[in-house]
Amino acid sequence: MKRFKAMVSLFAMTMTGCYAAYYDPYYYDYAYYDPYWYGYDAYYAYSWVDPYGVYYFSAPVTAQVDVNAAATAIADRANTYYTPAGCAGAVASGSTVTYNFNNCSGAFGLNSVSGTVRLELSENNGQLVLVATSTDLTAGGRPYILDLNAVATRSGTQRVVTMTSRSRSPDTADSRNEQITMNWEQGSGCVTMNGQGGSTRGDVTTTATVSGFQRCENQCPTAGKVTVESKDGAFTTEFNGSSTATVTGPNGDTKRYELNCP
């Protein structure tokens, strides 16, 4: 009888959820990786657009952008944004820039970059339009697919880039689609990003919202919140300048990640 009662008690505990719930680790991981990929996309775009309106924008704002001149200016300044010197070989041909990276480091978490990036420029009503793709690219020592469409605008020294990003590490996510808005003061080295979208890995699907995510050169993320929604609930993390990120699951369980930043 005592054994029977114990089995009944164990069954009741299981049915009422007294045991910790299991969540697919991908939900925690995506709350960590998604803002990382925001940072990667952001720095590529920052290096293309930061001089926008200073080096190659035709005044007034409504005038047509000379995309060939813009491509040349971007290529000529490539090594301004990457170290060590000479690691980012960039060549302009018409309105296209081809980068060949050799173990380059940038900012916003982008480091150990090798491979080829193709950037195509066009103009739409005075706005600079950028489309970037990659071949055999690695970042942070892992394969990385750069797949980015962006539109750049400016008002005085303010820069705004709206991006559709399908960029991802293929060993982590099978697909990703994020709509991102990034703004900054020209030459500041600091950007703020907001966005939403989602990803898949196998039969696991997520949606994500990134709000007030701030990255500056030579700093860890200084602010922002990431919320990943899943069929099991929300997974969140916030940034405050620390070199670690803690992702909290629906039941309060946490997973800690080290950030690759100063």
pLDDT digits (tens, 9 = 90+) for 154-167: 888 899 999 999 99
pLDDT for 96-148, tens place per residue? 999 999 999 999 999 999 999 999 999 988 788 999 999 999 998 899 999 99
* Inter-residue contact 139 to 116 (CB < 8 Å): no
* Of residues 5 and 50, more confidently modeled: 50
Q: What is the pTM of this model?
A: 0.86
* Weakest mean pLDDT among 20-34, 43-57, 226-240: 43-57
- Among 195, 234, 189, smallest CA distance to 215 is for 189
Using DSSP's 3-state secondary structure scheme, residue 32 falls into: helix
Q: Do 215 and 229 contact (CB within 8 A), yes or no? A: no
